[in-house]
Structure 1
Amino acid sequence: MTSTTSDTGSSTYSVPSKDQKQEWAKQQSILKSNLVVVDDHPDWSLTLKDDNTHRLESTKGLQYVGGVDLSFIVGNNEDAIASLIVLSYPDFKVVYENHAKVKLTLPYIAGFLAFREVEPLLDLISTLRSTHPEFEPQVILVDGCGILHPRGFGLASHLGLLSNIPTVGCSKNYLVIDNDGPLLGSNPTALKKDFKKFVTTHPETHGLMPLTGTVTGKTYGAALAAATGKAAEGAQNPIFVSIGHKVSLETAVALVRACSRFRVPEPIRQADLKSRNEIRKWCQQQEKDAALALATVGATITTATAVAN
């Protein structure tokens, strides 16, 4: 397994203006026009069960699945660890990991997560390609939205398009989509209640509720409870799965199902666990450095006092 940690330096934190957010929305619209929302990965394929639950029957050619995540120091929204993890499939062994210390220049703004996080993630992919191309993931599961997004272009889509790697959006939180019916317009708490009721009364879905607009008829994604370790699939909170780039929704859901031992699919779960571990080590080092600096200052003062006397 390959593992590294790097430091990207410092930055100035700023709050974007209304004009800046409008410019970002325009960029998302332009980039979205190039998004591929069907399966386009000739080196691997999935066969699904023939029951509309998007459960996996078999795979062909799939060897490496990636996961990305950012973790933050508690009480600090600027200092973060960006992580890229690659797991072998189907045994989910970590074959590559890379972590970068980053100084983020923007706060979290719902619907614009990519403008805060995509650059450090792209840097990690670039490093992998230059140092260990043999471990480049064939698909990346992203802790963020794909096309299940107010403007149809979340972090997973942004990262997939710019890296040219198939991606799947796997968000723990729901972003409300307006003007396409009551389900999509529900607040996250209400939607989770609707989900639990739906999967309880429809056990044949195996924990899957499509998120379809009643005005357009468009299916944006799905709420999914896929953890294999739970006795009752509908008893847990869902994650929100959607197309990122170069995958269909059926493939996206099947992959998340296949990779889920717990609520969060294993590639993202490992990226989260390892990035949090890097945060702990970073904080411990900061504490050691601070203690050493304090001791050095104390020793200097003591020496100066002794000389003066």
Structure 2
Amino acid sequence: MLPAIRHAWDIPPSEAIDLQIKLSKQVVKKDRLGVVNRIAGIDVAYHKNNDTLIASIAIVDAHSLETIESHAWAGMASYPYVPGLFLFRELPSIVRLLSTITHRPDLIICDGQGIAHPRRFGLASHLGVLYDIPTIGCGKSRFIGEYAPPLNERGCHSGLFDGDELIGAVLRTQENVKPVFVSIGHRISLETACHWVLNVTRNYRLPETTRLADRHGKQFYEQNKYAITPPN
């Protein structure tokens, strides 16, 4: 799987911000999905003591949620931590990871933000525009915006607002469990994004795609930790 757009990643923060603003204009906030048979979850985890990261992907059948394939890649984050530019640390590893898959997903759910971002161009939106593929941001926590807590029943949601602008939904995936923060990534509406997040979140708080990607990343790390972790 190759990106439709290519650009440099090792650019100064000022140029990175300009790039986000430029590419954000390409985000499609309406449903431009075909038939969704395969859904991917993407997760990036960090070593607690250094900048080693593990990017992992799980691609599942959209109906049974059975795993079709899963991969992981380990490397070092080379971009500095800059609020709002965190994706420049993570997306290069995801690009490398996506080059290894054999089944192109019809939809990708990212553990992160889409347009719920100061420049309306978080990781899910950047990934979606980069590959011209439908994407959803589904974060464990809020990055920006204000909201009223949704009701406690599964499927209840409230709006996430930046001022008067609706930038996402605060979605209760299980009764009496903390909500997740859903936002448009690319080529999908907010309503449809919430539908698919609920569809793949059947027993736990987080989408099964995210859980499977995270699990595979942890297994990969345990099997390879002595090879991929820099010495102290």
TM-score range, shorter chain: 0.7 to 0.9
Q: Which of 178, 182, 207 is matched with 1:241 structurally?
A: 182
Higher helix residue share: 1
Name the structure 2 match of 1:222: 169
Structure 2 counterpart of 1:74: 48
8 Å Cα contact 1:122/1:163 also seen in 2: no
Q: For residues 207 and 69 of structure 1, what CA distance do their matches in structure 2 show?
A: 25
Q: Which amino acid in 1 is paired with 2:28? A: V
Contact 1:80 1:279 in 2 (8 A): no
2:23 pairs with 1:31: yes
Specify which of 247, 255, 259 is matched with residue 196 of structure 2. 255
Aligned residue in 2 for 1:276: 218
| Counterparts of 2:195 and 2:111, CA distance in 1 | 17
Please report how far the alpha carbon of residue 284 of structure 1 lies from its aligned counterpart in structure 2 after TM superposition.
Answer: 5.0
**What's the RMSD between the two structures over aligned residues?**
2.3
Instruction: Name 2:157's counterpart in structure 1.
Output: 208
Percent of aligned pairs sharing the same letter = 31
2:88 to 104, 115, 140: 115
What is aligned with 1:90? 63
Q: In the alignment, is residue 105 of structure 1 matched against residue 78 of structure 2?
A: yes
Counterpart of 1:105, as a letter, is: S
Q: Letter of the aligned partner of 1:68 in structure 2?
A: I
Q: Please give the secondary structure, in 2, of the residue aligned with 1:173.
A: coil
Task: Tell me the secondary structure at the aligned position of residue 151 of structure 2.
Answer: helix
Deviation of residue 123 (structure 1)? Answer: 2.0
Higher relative contact order (CA 8 A, sep 6+): 2
Task: Report how far residue 286 of structure 1 moved.
Answer: 6.9
Aligned to 1:21: 13
Structure 2 residue matching 1:241: 3-state secondary structure: strand
Partner of residue 188, structure 1 = none
Give 1:21 shift: 2.5
SS across alignment from 1:199? coil
Residues 121-175 of structure 1: per-residue CA shift (max 9 Å, x gap): 12222232xxx2xx21000000110001111100000001001111000111211
Note if contact 2:159-2:166 (Cα within 8 Å) is conserved in structure 1: yes
Contact 2:71–2:216 (Cα < 8 Å) also in 1: no
One-letter code aligned to 1:255: W
Q: 1:245 Cα shift?
A: 0.4
- Aligned CA distance change for structure 1 residues 286 and 257 (closer, same or farther; 3 Å): closer
- The AA in structure 2 aligned to 1:159 is L
Are the structure 2 counterparts of residues 286 and 244 from structure 1 closer, same or farther at C-alpha, using a change threshold of 3 Å? closer
Return the index of the structure with the highest Cα Rg.
1
Unaligned runs of 5+ residues in structure 2 are: 1-9
Given that residues 109 and 209 in structure 2 are in contact (C-alpha distance below 8 angstroms), is that contact kept between their aligned partners in structure 1?
yes
User: Letter of the aligned partner of 1:249 in structure 2?
Assistant: L
TM-score of the superposed pair, with normalisation by structure 2: 0.87
Counterpart-to-counterpart distance in 1, 2:155 and 2:73: 38
* TM-score (ref. length: structure 1): 0.66
**Contact conserved, 1:111 with 1:175, CA < 8 A, in 2?**
no
Q: Aligned pair count?
A: 221
CA contact (8 A) 1:71 1:279 kept: no
Alpha carbons of 1:74 and 1:169: their partners in 2 closer, same or farther (altered >3 Å)? same
